[in-house]
Amino acid sequence: MSDYIIVDRQPPLATITINRPRQRNAINFQMWGDLAGTISELDADRSTRAIVLTGAGGQAFSAGADIADFDEYRSDSTRGRLYNGAVDGLLAALTSCETPVISMIRGFAAGGGCEIATATDLRIASENARLGIPVARLGITVGHREMRGLIDLVGKGNALYILLSGRLLDAPEALRIGLVNQVVPDDQLESCTYELAGEIANLAPLSHAVNKRTMNQLMNKASLADLTPGEADLPLHQFDTRDYHEGYRAFLEKRAPQFIGE
Protein backbone atom coordinates (compact mmCIF):
# COMPACT_ATOMS: atom_id res chain seq x y z
CA MET A 1 0.00 0.00 0.00
CA SER A 2 1.29 3.44 -0.95
CA ASP A 3 2.02 5.97 1.80
CA TYR A 4 -0.04 8.33 -0.31
CA ILE A 5 -3.28 6.50 0.50
CA ILE A 6 -4.73 6.59 4.01
CA VAL A 7 -7.57 4.29 5.05
CA ASP A 8 -9.55 5.04 8.20
CA ARG A 9 -12.01 2.30 9.15
CA GLN A 10 -14.71 3.23 11.63
CA PRO A 11 -17.44 0.67 10.93
CA PRO A 12 -19.89 0.94 9.38
CA LEU A 13 -17.97 3.70 7.54
CA ALA A 14 -14.54 3.81 5.94
CA THR A 15 -12.64 6.81 4.57
CA ILE A 16 -10.01 6.71 1.85
CA THR A 17 -7.84 9.83 1.72
CA ILE A 18 -5.56 10.61 -1.22
CA ASN A 19 -2.59 12.01 0.68
CA ARG A 20 -0.31 14.10 -1.52
CA PRO A 21 -1.37 17.62 -0.54
CA ARG A 22 1.82 19.28 -1.82
CA GLN A 23 1.02 17.91 -5.28
CA ARG A 24 -2.69 18.72 -4.91
CA ASN A 25 -3.23 15.00 -4.45
CA ALA A 26 -2.05 14.14 -7.96
CA ILE A 27 -2.13 10.39 -8.57
CA ASN A 28 1.05 8.62 -9.63
CA PHE A 29 1.13 5.36 -11.56
CA GLN A 30 1.33 3.07 -8.53
CA MET A 31 -1.54 4.82 -6.81
CA TRP A 32 -4.07 3.88 -9.51
CA GLY A 33 -3.56 0.21 -8.68
CA ASP A 34 -3.34 0.81 -4.94
CA LEU A 35 -6.62 2.72 -4.94
CA ALA A 36 -8.29 -0.05 -6.94
CA GLY A 37 -7.06 -2.65 -4.47
CA THR A 38 -8.22 -0.56 -1.51
CA ILE A 39 -11.71 -0.20 -2.98
CA SER A 40 -11.95 -3.95 -3.61
CA GLU A 41 -10.70 -4.76 -0.11
CA LEU A 42 -13.23 -2.49 1.57
CA ASP A 43 -16.00 -3.81 -0.66
CA ALA A 44 -15.25 -7.33 0.58
CA ASP A 45 -15.42 -6.21 4.24
CA ARG A 46 -18.98 -6.77 5.44
CA SER A 47 -18.50 -4.36 8.33
CA THR A 48 -18.03 -1.50 5.84
CA ARG A 49 -21.42 -0.22 4.69
CA ALA A 50 -20.33 3.05 3.02
CA ILE A 51 -17.04 4.51 1.78
CA VAL A 52 -16.04 8.17 1.67
CA LEU A 53 -13.28 9.12 -0.79
CA THR A 54 -11.52 12.46 -0.34
CA GLY A 55 -8.23 14.35 -0.65
CA ALA A 56 -5.88 15.65 2.03
CA GLY A 57 -4.89 19.23 2.71
CA GLY A 58 -8.03 21.20 1.92
CA GLN A 59 -6.87 22.49 -1.49
CA ALA A 60 -7.83 19.61 -3.76
CA PHE A 61 -9.79 16.39 -4.01
CA SER A 62 -7.28 15.42 -6.69
CA ALA A 63 -5.60 17.34 -9.48
CA GLY A 64 -5.60 14.12 -11.52
CA ALA A 65 -2.74 12.18 -13.07
CA ASP A 66 0.75 13.16 -11.91
CA ILE A 67 2.38 14.83 -14.91
CA ALA A 68 5.77 13.70 -13.59
CA ASP A 69 4.81 10.20 -14.79
CA PHE A 70 4.19 11.25 -18.39
CA ASP A 71 7.72 10.73 -19.73
CA GLU A 72 7.91 7.20 -18.35
CA TYR A 73 4.33 6.03 -18.80
CA ARG A 74 2.67 8.21 -21.44
CA SER A 75 5.41 9.10 -23.92
CA ASP A 76 3.96 6.88 -26.68
CA SER A 77 0.97 4.66 -27.39
CA THR A 78 2.62 1.48 -26.10
CA ARG A 79 3.40 2.99 -22.71
CA GLY A 80 0.09 4.85 -22.75
CA ARG A 81 -1.75 1.54 -23.05
CA LEU A 82 -0.22 0.33 -19.79
CA TYR A 83 -1.08 3.60 -18.05
CA ASN A 84 -4.66 3.65 -19.36
CA GLY A 85 -5.06 0.08 -18.16
CA ALA A 86 -4.17 1.18 -14.63
CA VAL A 87 -6.71 4.02 -14.79
CA ASP A 88 -9.35 1.66 -16.16
CA GLY A 89 -8.63 -0.75 -13.30
CA LEU A 90 -9.56 1.86 -10.70
CA LEU A 91 -12.64 3.04 -12.57
CA ALA A 92 -13.78 -0.56 -13.02
CA ALA A 93 -13.28 -1.22 -9.29
CA LEU A 94 -15.42 1.81 -8.44
CA THR A 95 -18.12 0.84 -10.93
CA SER A 96 -18.35 -2.75 -9.72
CA CYS A 97 -18.04 -1.88 -6.01
CA GLU A 98 -21.32 -2.89 -4.37
CA THR A 99 -20.60 -0.76 -1.28
CA PRO A 100 -21.81 2.82 -1.84
CA VAL A 101 -18.92 5.25 -2.44
CA ILE A 102 -19.24 9.01 -1.88
CA SER A 103 -16.72 11.56 -3.15
CA MET A 104 -16.20 14.41 -0.65
CA ILE A 105 -14.82 17.18 -2.84
CA ARG A 106 -13.05 20.28 -1.58
CA GLY A 107 -11.02 22.39 -4.00
CA PHE A 108 -9.88 20.99 -7.33
CA ALA A 109 -11.16 17.78 -8.90
CA ALA A 110 -9.46 18.00 -12.27
CA GLY A 111 -8.65 15.54 -15.04
CA GLY A 112 -8.32 12.08 -13.55
CA GLY A 113 -9.51 13.44 -10.22
CA CYS A 114 -12.79 14.46 -11.80
CA GLU A 115 -13.00 11.11 -13.60
CA ILE A 116 -12.61 9.28 -10.29
CA ALA A 117 -15.35 11.37 -8.72
CA THR A 118 -17.57 10.69 -11.72
CA ALA A 119 -17.09 6.94 -11.20
CA THR A 120 -18.22 7.06 -7.56
CA ASP A 121 -21.89 6.81 -6.66
CA LEU A 122 -22.39 10.25 -5.15
CA ARG A 123 -20.48 13.53 -5.08
CA ILE A 124 -20.78 16.13 -2.31
CA ALA A 125 -18.85 19.34 -3.05
CA SER A 126 -17.92 22.37 -1.01
CA GLU A 127 -18.68 25.83 -2.35
CA ASN A 128 -15.03 26.30 -3.34
CA ALA A 129 -14.88 23.14 -5.47
CA ARG A 130 -13.85 23.35 -9.12
CA LEU A 131 -14.30 20.38 -11.42
CA GLY A 132 -13.34 19.62 -15.00
CA ILE A 133 -11.40 17.42 -17.41
CA PRO A 134 -9.07 19.79 -19.32
CA VAL A 135 -7.35 17.10 -21.38
CA ALA A 136 -7.39 19.29 -24.50
CA ARG A 137 -4.91 21.60 -22.77
CA LEU A 138 -2.39 18.72 -22.84
CA GLY A 139 -3.31 17.30 -26.22
CA ILE A 140 -4.58 14.01 -24.79
CA THR A 141 -8.03 12.42 -24.66
CA VAL A 142 -10.18 10.48 -22.21
CA GLY A 143 -10.60 6.74 -22.58
CA HIS A 144 -13.80 4.90 -23.42
CA ARG A 145 -14.60 4.00 -19.81
CA GLU A 146 -14.12 7.59 -18.64
CA MET A 147 -16.18 8.90 -21.55
CA ARG A 148 -19.06 6.53 -20.89
CA GLY A 149 -19.11 7.41 -17.20
CA LEU A 150 -19.13 11.13 -17.95
CA ILE A 151 -21.92 10.88 -20.55
CA ASP A 152 -24.00 8.64 -18.28
CA LEU A 153 -23.72 11.26 -15.54
CA VAL A 154 -24.19 14.58 -17.33
CA GLY A 155 -25.35 13.71 -20.87
CA LYS A 156 -23.70 14.20 -24.26
CA GLY A 157 -24.09 17.97 -24.45
CA ASN A 158 -22.65 18.69 -21.03
CA ALA A 159 -19.88 16.13 -21.52
CA LEU A 160 -18.82 17.89 -24.70
CA TYR A 161 -19.01 21.26 -22.95
CA ILE A 162 -16.64 19.98 -20.24
CA LEU A 163 -14.20 18.44 -22.72
CA LEU A 164 -14.24 21.04 -25.49
CA SER A 165 -14.05 24.09 -23.24
CA GLY A 166 -11.32 22.69 -20.99
CA ARG A 167 -12.86 24.79 -18.23
CA LEU A 168 -12.94 24.00 -14.55
CA LEU A 169 -16.55 24.46 -13.50
CA ASP A 170 -17.38 26.14 -10.23
CA ALA A 171 -19.58 24.29 -7.75
CA PRO A 172 -22.93 25.89 -8.71
CA GLU A 173 -22.41 25.11 -12.40
CA ALA A 174 -21.30 21.56 -11.59
CA LEU A 175 -24.49 21.13 -9.58
CA ARG A 176 -26.66 22.57 -12.35
CA ILE A 177 -25.46 20.06 -14.94
CA GLY A 178 -25.51 17.09 -12.56
CA LEU A 179 -21.77 16.65 -12.16
CA VAL A 180 -22.22 16.79 -8.36
CA ASN A 181 -25.23 15.87 -6.24
CA GLN A 182 -24.98 18.54 -3.56
CA VAL A 183 -23.04 21.73 -2.80
CA VAL A 184 -22.58 22.77 0.83
CA PRO A 185 -20.64 25.47 2.70
CA ASP A 186 -16.99 24.57 3.13
CA ASP A 187 -17.25 24.33 6.91
CA GLN A 188 -20.16 21.87 6.59
CA LEU A 189 -18.63 19.52 4.02
CA GLU A 190 -17.53 16.82 6.46
CA SER A 191 -20.68 16.91 8.57
CA CYS A 192 -23.01 16.78 5.57
CA THR A 193 -21.03 14.03 3.84
CA TYR A 194 -20.78 11.80 6.89
CA GLU A 195 -24.40 12.39 7.80
CA LEU A 196 -25.37 11.07 4.36
CA ALA A 197 -22.88 8.20 4.60
CA GLY A 198 -24.31 7.24 7.97
CA GLU A 199 -27.86 7.24 6.63
CA ILE A 200 -26.79 5.02 3.73
CA ALA A 201 -24.90 2.66 6.04
CA ASN A 202 -27.98 2.19 8.23
CA LEU A 203 -30.08 0.93 5.33
CA ALA A 204 -30.09 -2.57 3.87
CA PRO A 205 -26.66 -3.30 2.31
CA LEU A 206 -28.06 -6.00 0.02
CA SER A 207 -30.57 -3.51 -1.37
CA HIS A 208 -27.75 -1.11 -2.16
CA ALA A 209 -25.65 -3.85 -3.74
CA VAL A 210 -28.42 -5.24 -5.91
CA ASN A 211 -29.64 -1.79 -6.95
CA LYS A 212 -26.10 -0.93 -8.10
CA ARG A 213 -25.76 -4.25 -9.89
CA THR A 214 -29.14 -3.82 -11.58
CA MET A 215 -28.25 -0.30 -12.68
CA ASN A 216 -24.95 -1.47 -14.16
CA GLN A 217 -26.77 -4.19 -16.07
CA LEU A 218 -29.22 -1.70 -17.53
CA MET A 219 -26.52 0.82 -18.43
CA ASN A 220 -24.74 -1.91 -20.39
CA LYS A 221 -27.81 -3.05 -22.34
CA ALA A 222 -29.35 -1.35 -25.35
CA SER A 223 -32.82 -2.63 -24.40
CA LEU A 224 -34.58 -4.34 -21.51
CA ALA A 225 -35.24 -7.15 -23.96
CA ASP A 226 -31.50 -7.84 -23.98
CA LEU A 227 -31.46 -8.87 -20.32
CA THR A 228 -30.72 -12.54 -19.68
CA PRO A 229 -33.24 -14.44 -17.50
CA GLY A 230 -30.77 -14.32 -14.61
CA GLU A 231 -30.34 -10.56 -14.98
CA ALA A 232 -34.10 -10.00 -15.24
CA ASP A 233 -34.69 -11.99 -12.04
CA LEU A 234 -32.02 -10.22 -10.01
CA PRO A 235 -34.41 -7.83 -8.14
CA LEU A 236 -36.60 -10.80 -7.12
CA HIS A 237 -33.82 -12.38 -5.06
CA GLN A 238 -34.31 -9.77 -2.34
CA PHE A 239 -37.60 -11.37 -1.33
CA ASP A 240 -35.65 -14.41 -0.15
CA THR A 241 -33.28 -12.48 2.12
CA ARG A 242 -33.34 -12.16 5.87
CA ASP A 243 -32.94 -8.38 5.55
CA TYR A 244 -36.12 -8.06 3.49
CA HIS A 245 -38.21 -9.87 6.12
CA GLU A 246 -36.54 -7.83 8.87
CA GLY A 247 -37.23 -4.61 6.97
CA TYR A 248 -40.94 -5.10 6.47
CA ARG A 249 -41.47 -6.51 10.00
CA ALA A 250 -39.69 -3.48 11.45
CA PHE A 251 -41.90 -1.20 9.35
CA LEU A 252 -45.06 -2.90 10.62
CA GLU A 253 -43.75 -2.87 14.20
CA LYS A 254 -42.71 0.80 13.91
CA ARG A 255 -39.09 0.19 14.98
CA ALA A 256 -35.67 0.65 13.43
CA PRO A 257 -34.61 -2.36 11.34
CA GLN A 258 -31.43 -4.28 12.13
CA PHE A 259 -29.90 -5.21 8.78
CA ILE A 260 -27.08 -7.77 8.62
CA GLY A 261 -26.52 -8.10 4.87
CA GLU A 262 -28.07 -11.57 4.48
For the chain, which residues score pLDDT lower than 50? none
Chain segment 10-26, per-residue pLDDT in tens = 999 999 999 999 999 99
C-alpha 56/C-alpha 238 separation (Å) is 38
Please list the helix, strand and coil fractions of the chain in percent, rounded to the nearest 5, in that order: 55, 15, 30
Q: What is the per-residue pLDDT for 141?
A: 84
Cβ 147 vs Cβ 159: under 8 Å: yes
Q: What is the per-residue pLDDT for 118?
A: 97
At CB < 8 A and 24+ separation, what contacts does 173-179 make? 174/125, 174/129, 174/131, 175/125, 178/153, 178/154, 179/114, 179/118, 179/123, 179/131, 179/153, 179/154
Q: What is the per-residue pLDDT for 217?
A: 82
Q: What is the per-residue pLDDT for 227?
A: 66
C-alpha 49/C-alpha 244 separation (Å) is 17
Q: What is the per-residue pLDDT for 76?
A: 72
pTM: 0.88
